[in-house]
């Protein structure tokens, strides 16, 4: 697998030996989230206080978009990143402005499924966005992996997963999440790109009203420039906000 970089209309892209986009950065705004699905992976921020999360595990570095956003906008957070290919990490430093901050960003070159089996820590937020050149997740979309993630979540922790699929059919993935988390899981309506973001919790997340979510999204937009109000509009049209409450 080769690591390739392309640029078009002011956006730099990461590829793994194909035209399939593995990450992107707008050169003029390197710490913003360029791709829609990366923005939606920040929806868990709407469910907690402004200083959450403090401990983040990210499986799959890509162009480091999520890492950079949390590093900049959650200064109290410590970020643990697991990336299987050291060349991806090198590209993130060279081409995508990954901060060189050993105090807050710990990068491990390992298989994400193996890492979480062996880990002893607990994380507030676990982000999973790991694919090969053919957009395959391997062990990162299996029931044992999701059970291992649940075991490594803090009491109020949230798992957030990118369920990219060329088939745009995420039912089996969501079923595995629901089984691992006793039904406390949901998937957002799929993005046009074919990405769908799923969240799961150990059952400690209280129902959140649409009004509370919109207020949190407005604060997040003011503080970071990230606008999740369109995502909430899509969620409002789905079954996940029945009665005006988000439950998962």
Q: Say how far apart CA 218 and CA 25 lie, in whole Å.
A: 24
pLDDT digits (tens, 9 = 90+) for 221-239: 999 999 999 999 888 877 7
Domain boundaries, the chain: 30-218
Confidence of residue 167 (pLDDT cuts 50, 70, 90): low
For residue 48, whether the previous peptide bond is cis, meaning omega lies within 30 degrees of 0, is no
Which of 75-84, 89-98, 126-135, 207-216 is predicted with the least confidence, judged by mean pLDDT? 126-135
Spell out the SS3 assignment of the chain. CCCEEEEECCEEEEECCCCCEEEEEECCECCCCCCHHHHHCCHHHHHCCCCCCCEEEEECCCCCHHHHHHHHHCCCCEEEEECCCHHHHHHHHHHCCCCCCCCCEEEECCCHHHHHHHCCCCEEEEEECCCCCCCCCHHHHCHHHHHHHHHCEEEEEEEEEECCCCCCCCHHHHHHHHHHCCCCEEECCCCCCCCCEEEEECCCCCCEEHHHHHHHHHHHHHHHCCCCHHHHHHHHCCHHHHHHEECC
pLDDT digits (tens, 9 = 90+) for 87-116: 999 999 999 999 999 999 999 999 999 999
Q: Say how far apart CA 180 and CA 214 lie, in whole Å.
A: 29
CB contact at 8 A, 143 and 87: no
CATH architecture of the domain covering 30-218 = 3-Layer(aba) Sandwich (3.40)
Look at residues 64, 81, 62 and name the one whose alpha carbon lies nearest to residue 22. Answer: 62
Residue 203 pLDDT greater than 80, yes or no: no
């Amino acid at each position: 697998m080769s690591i390739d970089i392309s640029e078009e209309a002011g956006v730099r892209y990461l590829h793994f030996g194909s035209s399939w986009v593995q990450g992107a950065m707008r050169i003029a705004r390197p710490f913003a989230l360029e791709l829609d699905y990366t923005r939606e992976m920040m929806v868990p921020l709407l469910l907690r206080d402004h200083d959450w999360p403090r401990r983040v595990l990210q499986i799959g570095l890509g162009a480091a978009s999520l890492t950079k956003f949390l590093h900049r906008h959650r200064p109290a957070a410590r970020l643990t990143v697991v990336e299987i290919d050291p060349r991806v990490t090198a590209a993130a430093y060279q081409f995508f402005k990954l901060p060189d901050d050993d105090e807050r960003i710990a990068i491990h070159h390992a298989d994400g499924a193996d890492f979480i089996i062996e880990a002893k820590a607990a994380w507030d937020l676990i982000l999973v966005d790991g694919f090969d050149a053919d957009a395959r997740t391997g062990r990162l979309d299996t029931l044992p992996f999701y059970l291992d993630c649940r075991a490594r979540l803090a009491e109020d922790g949230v798992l957030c997963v990118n369920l990219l699929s060329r088939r745009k059919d995420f039912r089996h993935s969501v079923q595995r999440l629901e089984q691992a988390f006793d039904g406390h899981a949901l998937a957002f309506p799929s993005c046009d790109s074919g990405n769908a973001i799923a969240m799961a919790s150990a059952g400690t997340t209280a129902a959140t009203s649409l009004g509370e979510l919109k207020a949190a999204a407005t604060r997040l937009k003011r503080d970071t420039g990230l606008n999740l109000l369109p995502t909430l509009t899509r969620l409002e049209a789905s079954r996940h906000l029945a009665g005006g409450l988000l439950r998962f």
